[in-house]
Amino acid sequence: MSGSLKVQLVVFDWSGTLVDYGCLAPARAFLEAFAKSRLMLTIQQVRWSMGLHNYEHILSLLQIPQVSEQFQMVHGRPWNDADVLNIYDDLGPLLLDATRQYSRLTPGALEVIAQLRERGLKIATTSDYARNVAECVYDAARLEGFEADANVAADDTPSARPAPWMLFRLMTELNVYPPASVVKVGDTMPDIEEGVNAGCWSIGCTATGSEVGIPLAEWQTLPDVDRAAHLDRASRKLNGAGAHFAIPTLAELPRIIDRINQRLETGEKP
């Protein structure tokens, strides 16, 4: 099998990868949801665990010592499970509003997808968004000319990232096997861990994603030395999570898939 095995399926994350340059929608929504509970978080705190199921993301933020202390000071008691649910309920409408504003495809995404389809590859997506929010992103992408062969949202499986279940569901639905023939592309550590845990190749996307977190217009004005520093920091973090490759944008993806196919030809696995 090793001599004939090639990449069959590429699975993309949405915000910060396929859409929403800078991963702005979830960051904004999380800041506003916590503010409704009178908790002032920093953008760095919000981005630290980006990519988890939204409920798990909220839970991880409340477990940050500074946030727990702030909650105690503001509310006069420790936070509990009901507080997690309250913030989660506040987050839903905010995410819907933010995704409507920030769901443009990242530059070059359509062209890259076309190249992959010309090679006969299947295209699918996973998301940290619940199904009702994810559907808004799917609709926006269709208006720009993109529709995946299959999509799995965070609440479609028993647990989301970094568990492998969303990827396994896609592999089952699209009849793709083995996991070594699947590539997962995303911009957060849970994205990378999702692919690694499924036995797939994991590729980190840096310039467009949450680890850099800079809107396109602002990114284009940065000096080259500052861009390089941002990309290096993001690459090191994603590589540390297990990424097999880190690329600035999706434009690099076809070349990386060629490299993966070359490695598969020699019998190498993720």
Encoded tokens for 176: 């793709």
CA-CA distance, 270 to 244, in Å (whole number)? 8
Q: Is residue 1 part of a domain?
A: no
Q: Is residue 140 part of a domain?
A: yes
CATH number at residue 260: 3.40.50.1000
CA-CA distance, 93 to 202, in Å (whole number)? 31
Query: Are residue 213 and residue 200 in the same domain, yes or no?
Result: yes
Query: Are residue 93 and residue 113 in the same domain, yes or no?
Result: no
Pairing of the two strands 182-186 and 201-205: parallel
CA-CA distance, 219 to 215, in Å (whole number)? 6
Q: Is residue 16 part of a domain?
A: yes
Asked whether residue 139 carries a pLDDT value surpassing 60, the answer given is yes
- 201: β partners: 183
pLDDT of residue 168: 98
* Domain final position from 101, 119, 149: 101
Phi–psi pair at 20, nearest 5 degrees: 60, 70
Task: Provide, rounded to the nearest whole percent, the portion of the chain with pLDDT above 70.
Answer: 99
Q: Is residue 4 part of a domain?
A: no
Encoded tokens for 87: 């913030």
**Residue 4: pLDDT band with limits 50, 70, 90:** confident
Q: At what angle do helices 81-101 and 54-62 cross, to 10 degrees?
A: 120
Average pLDDT, the chain: 96
pLDDT of residue 239: 97
To which H or E segment does residue 135 belong? helix 131-143
Domain count of the fold of the chain: 2
pLDDT digits (tens, 9 = 90+) for 234-244: 999 999 999 99
pLDDT digits (tens, 9 = 90+) for 199-254: 999 999 999 999 999 999 999 999 999 999 999 999 999 999 999 999 999 999 99
Asked whether residue 1 carries a pLDDT value surpassing 50, the answer given is no
Residues with Cβ within 8 Å of 194's Cβ and at least 6 positions away in sequence, in order, are 126, 161, 162, 163, 164, 166, 167, 184, 186, 202
Query: Are residue 150 and residue 225 in the same domain, yes or no?
Result: yes
Query: Are residue 230 and residue 255 in the same domain, yes or no?
Result: yes
For residues 4 and 260, the model is more confident at: 260
For residues 225 and 2, the model is more confident at: 225
Q: Is residue 88 part of a domain?
A: yes
Asked whether residue 3 carries a pLDDT value surpassing 90, the answer given is no
Query: Are residue 261 and residue 152 in the same domain, yes or no?
Result: yes
Query: Are residue 97 and residue 117 in the same domain, yes or no?
Result: no
* Domain final position from 68, 101, 134: 101
CATH number at residue 90: 1.10.150.240
**Residue 2: pLDDT band with limits 50, 70, 90:** very low
- Dihedral angle at the C-alpha atoms of 71, 72, 77, 83, nearest 10 degrees? 10
pLDDT digits (tens, 9 = 90+) for 165-181: 999 999 999 999 999 99
Q: Which of 36, 63, 35 is nearest to 48 (CA)?
A: 63
* Domain final position from 101, 125, 147: 101
CA-CA distance, 269 to 200, in Å (whole number)? 8
Range of the domain at 188: 9-23+104-265
The separation between CA 63 and the C-alpha centre of its own chain, rounded to angstroms, equals 22
Q: Is residue 71 part of a domain?
A: yes
pLDDT digits (tens, 9 = 90+) for 41-90: 999 999 988 999 999 999 999 999 999 999 999 999 999 999 999 999 99
